[in-house]
Amino acid sequence: MGDPKPAEECGVFGVWAPGEEVAKLTYFGLFALQHRGQESAGIAVSEGNRIMVVKDMGLVSQVFDENALNSLTGHLSVGHTRYSTTGASEWKNAQPTYRATTRGGLALAHNGNLTNTDELEAWLHQLDADANVARKDSMDSTNDTSLVTALMATYEGSIWDAALAVLPRLEGAFCFTFLDQSTLYAARDRHGIRPLVLGRLERGWVVASETAALDIVGATFIREVEPGELIAIDAGGLRATRFADADPKGCVFEYVYLARPDTAIAGRRVHNVRVEIGRTLAAEAPVDADVVIGVPESGIPAAEGYAQASGIPYSRGIVKNAYVGRTFIQPSQTLRQLGIRLKLNPIRDVIAGRRVVVVDDSIVRGNTQRALVRMLREAGAAEVHVRISSPPVEWPCFYGIDFATRAELIAPGLTVSDVCRSIAADSLAYVSVEGLVASVGLPKRRLCRACFDGVYPAPIPTAAARAMRLPVPAPTAPSIVAAP
């Protein structure tokens, strides 16, 4: 079986800019977010009287060509690039989702994962029953995004009012960009688990999952969309309100692996954080060695930091094939397994005869590291010492990273020595939770660390909580669900 890296669900982008080619701006914005999902891509554009949606399976460059983009005319747009965590990898689950409303239409794109979909589905059915409506199209897809779109579309008033009615009922992680005929909207869950930022164009506004997407379209970063905040942008300007009290719990794994290194989150440049994690890892887990190498791409800054703090020379020891996507992107297990070998290749002259420290960002099942250690030994490494720039992943994520059960993970039930023997390394060490938090530079209470320590900031699905013997919260309880 392959060993996919932790996979985030999606990237979202939105632009309101009269006089600009908004579809092309969105296209380039999605290019900057392609790492957040490679299964499907889509863009919705409004020209005031109608909303056009183009979406399909594949990369952004495969879904859109010049003709498709030229057909998407208007002054506001939302876009999406998807990796599935809820719903199958098929066309009907591609985003943005669209629903007709009494005032026109609604197109919505989502990054994250909702945890109370059973409750929301029951609410939708009740709304339909109260209105004596049989909505054949309410749930024609199998993801939580379509459910939210259907809920908002049931309201006869404005999309703003519909959002204020629906958003407080959602649990889990969500960053939304959505539009009607005239207005661009953005919203972020009360914990701000996934990133979402606001930028300014000369003649408009942009919202995006990462600041790197602002950079690529020439937008100036203004601020983050606040946790629990709803924003609307139209000809009257920008307006914002709170739909929930903020309790920031940003995903710490964004810093370790998920986000681009040139992105800034909560005022911290991801590249700099990764270098600092490497320095911390060198202090916590020193070793006698001849060279430090990093696993491309997210392991490289941490390897540089490890080398700086340890005094061991850093060298580029592994080449990544730029034309092979992240191995987790491929839904086929066979393709994942092939992807490990296709993707990485050691540089023998750097490795042969040397004691090597290889720095990677995480271990999920262990198969990638096992193959990597084997490749380094075949390249002539005298010793292979594995250093990981995150703590052991021991708990599943319910907020948009694709490992859903403890059985999928190698760390639960095994000691570090056990894992080291499993991957056939000479030594293995992870950065500590405390060291990771200190490297990020935010208070521990402001970071979601659930995959490392089992402390969940938002309620998780009841069945999962019971299976893991965690307390089952009330449906709308805001309290933290903690591991016993």
Q: How far is CA 87 from the centre of its chain?
A: 16
With beta carbons less than 8 A apart as the criterion, state whether 34 and 197 touch.
no
**Residue 300, C-beta contacts closer than 8 angstroms, at least 6 positions apart:** 294, 359
CA dist., res. 77 & res. 69, Å (int): 12
Kindly tell me the burial class for residue 164, based on how many C-beta atoms sit within 10 Å of its own C-beta (0-12, 13-18, 19 or more).
middle
Q: Where are the beta strands (DSSP E) in 349-391?
A: 355-360, 383-388
CA dist., res. 190 & res. 399, Å (int): 13
Report the b/e string of 6-41 with b at 16+ CB within 10 A: bbbbbbbbbbbbeebbbbbbbbebbbbbbbbbbbbb
| Residue in 408, 345, 338, 405 with CA at minimum distance from that of residue 374 | 345
| Single-letter amino acid, residue 214 | L
Catalytic residue among 10, 420, 448, 451: 10
CA dist., res. 186 & res. 206, Å (int): 10
| Single-letter amino acid, residue 291 | V
Kindly tell me the burial class for residue 122, based on how many C-beta atoms sit within 10 Å of its own C-beta (0-12, 13-18, 19 or more).
exposed
Q: How far is CA 441 from the centre of its chain?
A: 20
| Single-letter amino acid, residue 482 | A
- Token code pair at residue 399: 């907020």
- Token code pair at residue 213: 């997407």
Verify whether residue 451 is a known catalytic residue. no
CA dist., res. 109 & res. 97, Å (int): 7
Catalytic residues: 10
